[in-house]
Amino acid sequence: MTKDTVLNKFKEIFGDSNPEVFTSPGRINLIGEHTDYNGSFVFPGAIDKGMIAAIKLNGTDKIKAHALDLDEKSEFGLNEEDLPKEGWAKYIFGVCREIIKRGGKVEGFDTVFSGDVPLGAGMSSSAALESTYAFALNEMLDLGIDKFELAKIGQATEHNYVGVKCGIMDQFASLFGKKGHLIRLDTKSMEYEYFPFDPEGYKLVLLDTRVTHELASSAYNKRRESCERAAKAISKNHSEVEFLRDASMDMLNEVKSDITEEDYMRAQYVIEETQRVRDVSDALQRHDYETVGQKMYETHHGMSKLYEVSCEELDFLNDLAKKHNVTGSRVMGGGFGGCTINLVKDELYDQFVIDAKAEFKEKYGHEPKVYDVVISDGARKL
């Protein structure tokens, strides 16, 4: 995917060679998974893969959009009843509607977009798409919306037009990304801090199982409800507990007999994951990547056994990483398929990738896809 490809397609469809071009990245999350809707910390970074869109205002109240990778087009208005039928177009429509709801004036435009964020790999292609259009419209129409509000616009698009009750992390990372840095975001206070992430002697590599087990929204929403029930039970004894991030294991144990075993397990995972994020923050300050790696393995175990969002293929890759002395490995993203994220010493990297491909293929009949990722900048005009 290049800027030129998008521009050429735009010219071919709309006969105009002078649109503006914007991009937003996908993201990885080093640690802090399923914590964002629990008021806890997340630790994402923007990556060197994303969405690119060519956009030009067209003087009407209609949007004409072309998804280059799918070779599909959609045309729709800006009123609530104009919701397009194409799944991908709902993201663009939702961003426009959420801006309008906040008092922003949106005009019709022509657009072509393309992406190299792998779909279904847990790198948030949808947030990259939302952030591209939110950032672009804010710039082009001079709306004066701050980046935090742009992230919320993307999040509200998912809630109201796509039906996924996601947290704020993906959109936040896409908009606030900074090269060579991860961002620790406190999703309760919305305070954030950049941490240097330049692991010399290590590489970050994602292994994509190329499997998606039907999750996604129903299982996700069920886990969210589990966490809310556990937090509510704890808050009866501890009024200061609004989210699970405010709770300790001792508090959870007090209500163990009042909640289901499943709700207890989900809550235990979140409380322990919150502590792991704190531990990783300290380790990054010391450039101690061995501790970072150990915490990644602990997260995988928690996601697999307590939160139950892993799957056989992801567990297989995680075991393989251990066998190869990989520093850290865990399922990344919502789970039920997608990728493992691996922190691998340079000298082990080649052999690990060769063996992971071969052994995975032998067991599951296809190779995992391999993505090297570099931590990069957030949304911007090209």
What does the pLDDT average to over 208-232?
85
pLDDT of residue 120: 64
Exposed/middle/buried for 117, CB within 10 Å: 0-12, 13-18, 19+?
A: buried
pTM assigned to the model: 0.87
Q: Residue 56 and residue 66: Cα distance in Å, rounded?
A: 13
Asked if 181 contacts 28 with a C-beta cutoff of 8 angstroms, the reply is no
Q: Residue 363 and residue 336: Cα distance in Å, rounded?
A: 18
Q: What are the pLDDT digits (tens) for 84-134? A: 999 999 999 999 999 999 999 999 999 999 998 876 666 788 999 999 999
pLDDT bucket at 293, cuts 50 / 70 / 90: very high
Residue holding tokens 């009843």?
81
Dihedrals φ, ψ of 79, to 5°?
-95, 155
What does the pLDDT average to over 173-183?
95
Residue 217 has pLDDT above 80, yes or no: no
Residue 207 has pLDDT above 80, yes or no: yes
pLDDT bucket at 161, cuts 50 / 70 / 90: very high
pLDDT of residue 237: 95
User: Across the strands, what pairs with 207?
Assistant: 340, 370
Interstrand relation of 20-29 and 380-381 (parallel, antiparallel or unpaired): antiparallel
pLDDT of residue 167: 78
Phi-psi region of 381 (alpha: psi -120 to 50; beta: other; left: phi over 0): beta
pLDDT of residue 213: 67
Which listed residue (170, 208, 246, 263) is catalytic?
170
% of the chain surpassing 70 pLDDT: 97
What does the pLDDT average to over 165-182?
91
- The Cα-based distances of 95 to 67, 125, 133 in angstroms read 16, 15, 7
**Residue of 84 and 333 predicted with greater confidence:** 84
Residues recorded for the chain: 382
Catalytic (active site) residue 170:
yes
Q: Which of 359, 361, 357, 358 is nearest to 371 (CA)?
A: 357
Residue 219 has pLDDT above 90, yes or no: no
Render 223-248 in DSSP notation, one character per residue. HHHHHHHHHHHHHHH-TT-SSGGG--
Q: What are the pLDDT digits (tens) for 258-278? A: 999 999 999 999 999 999 999
pLDDT of residue 107: 96
Residue 196 has pLDDT above 80, yes or no: yes
DSSP 8-state symbol, 325: T
pLDDT of residue 10: 97
Residue 352 has pLDDT above 90, yes or no: yes
pLDDT of residue 1: 62
pLDDT of residue 380: 97
**Helix, strand, coil tally for the chain in percent (to 5):** 45, 25, 30
% of the chain surpassing 90 pLDDT: 86
Q: What are the pLDDT digits (tens) for 355-369? A: 999 999 999 999 999
